[in-house]
Each structure stands twice: as structure tokens, then as C-alpha cells.
Amino acid sequence: MTARAKFAKMNGLGNEIIVADMRGRAGRVSPAAAVALNADPATRFDQIMAIHDPRTSGTENYIEILNSDGSIAQACGNGMRCVVRALSAETGRRHFTFETVAGILNADEHADGMISVDMGMPRFGWRDIPLAEEFRDTRMIELQVGPIDKPVLHSPSVASMGNPHAIFWVDRDVWSYELDRFGPMLENHPIFPERANITIAQVTAPDAMAIRTWERGAGLTRACGSAACAAAVSAARTRRTGRAVTVTVPGGPLLIEWRDDDHVIMTGPAEWEFAGSFDPATGAWNRDERDVA
């Protein structure tokens, strides 16, 4: 029988996160365990952030990220903030350096409780995103939904924040589009060989926008940090906004800054819900009724 691991159920602006403590273990959270946890309404999540022992000198931990369907995700900004909140509460530290499959990430908890994550540098090359065919200018690619003469969505910007994103620019309120209908089709479109996160974005001011995201492997989400970053850099790249913007997701606002050194900094909150323990092989779990906040 697999020894049980501790977890914290948390959220970042409504992006439901399980932070799983896998330190000191050789194994990992299985895809079957992820699917089982997501099937329970109490532990339903968008991502599992599994904290492992460090693999690289100079980092505190290796973080493996699983989607709710058990697949591996390369990035999750809201989840990283939850990891910082959990480890800060445990250790008293305010600065962390993590390794993920997408690379090294630095993160800081501020005195006001907000958490900043350096999401790294965006990539715009068609092979880096990746796309299935060449587009020299990824600020706008040929992709649309609806009739050819009157598409509902068209000409998205595409970018990678460690994971692939497509951002469709719209003039109307982002809630007026059936993202639950279009999202699955676009996520799995042949142009995206590794699937993609699909975002609808409305610029509301030179320093503000609203977005909704269909998250690859998770579906509709109240917040997707990497999508907010991809939308922000794509807005700046297409001269829709400046390089520092407030991105309002359904769960609330995130501050995104695309610095001159090309790094994207995301700042926002993270909240506790409850703690428990679970079997990383099966997903069977128990709640810890003690206050962990």
C-alpha cells in the first residue's frame, strides 16, 4: 500500500488547486489518482501542484503539474502562487526558486499577502509554441470559428508561456461567447499538435483587459495564470496595451508586467480551503479538520 501524502486544497482567484506534498518520496501522483480526486466534488481541481525534492542545485523544489484529466501541464501560475503560500506558511520564507518541466521559476510573497511569480520569457516562434505548420507572424494566425464570411472568432494571437496559448480578440463582453462550446474544438484543433489553452480577450483600457479561458486538459476555469500572461504579452505585442496590465479573469484581477528583460511577472493572491491526506496511487483521501490557514 502506498503511504499517504499530505495535501492542501487551495485556490488562486478561483482556480482550484491541490498542493500535494510528495517530498521524500520516489513516486509521483498517478494520473488515476488525479482523475479520482477530480471526480469528488470536495476535491475537484484545475491542477495538482506536486511538490517534490529538488532535482537541480539552487532550487528549493521540483514541481510537477497535473491537469484534472491526469495529463501533465508545463505551467500554472495560479498554482505556483498556492505553492508559495503553502511553503511560506510552513517555513516562514518569502522567496523561492522552483524547477518545473518548463524551466526555473522564481517567486516571492509580499508583506501584503500578494504573491509574484516570474513566469519566464514568452516564446512566439511557431515551432516553440508549437504549431503544426509555419506562421512567420504569430501575432495573428489563420484560424476561425463559424461561417467563413462572418466568423464568430478569428485570427488569434498565439504564444507559449511554457505551454501553448491562443488568444482570440473580441469587441464584445467575453461572457457573450459560448466558450464551453468552442473551447474543446479549438483546444484539439490540428494546428496545435500539443493541444492549446484557448482564451477570449477584450481590451477595456490601455492598461486593462478581461479574459475567459478554456484550459487545456481542464476545461473552463475561473483563472488561468499562464493565459493571463499570454494575453498580456500578446496585447502589448499587437499594440493593444502597454507592457503592464491588469487582467481580469472570472475569479478577479491579476497584475501582469512584461519587463524590459523579457520576463513576465504575475502578481495575485492565493487562498487556503482545507487540508488532508491522500493515496498518490489511487486518490483515496481523508480531510484534516485542523485549521491550517
CA pair distance 18, 49, nearest whole angstrom:
6
Amino acid at 181: R
Distance CA 151, CA 149 (A): 6
Catalytic residue among 5, 8, 76, 191: 76
Q: How many angstroms separate the CA atoms of 176 and 179, rounded?
A: 9
Annotation says 229 is catalytic:
no
Q: Quick one: CA torsion of 185, 188, 189, 194, rounded to 10 degrees?
A: 160
Which residue from 19, 282, 279, 244 is spatially nearest to 116, judged by alpha carbons? Answer: 244
224 in active site: yes
Q: Give the CA distances from residue 206 to residues 119, 202, 243, 244, 252, in Å, rounded to whole numbers and listed in that order.
A: 22, 11, 9, 9, 18
- Catalytic residue (choose from 115, 224, 230, 254): 224
d(CA 187, CA 263): 26
Strand, coil or helix: what is 201? strand
Cite the active site residues: 76, 224
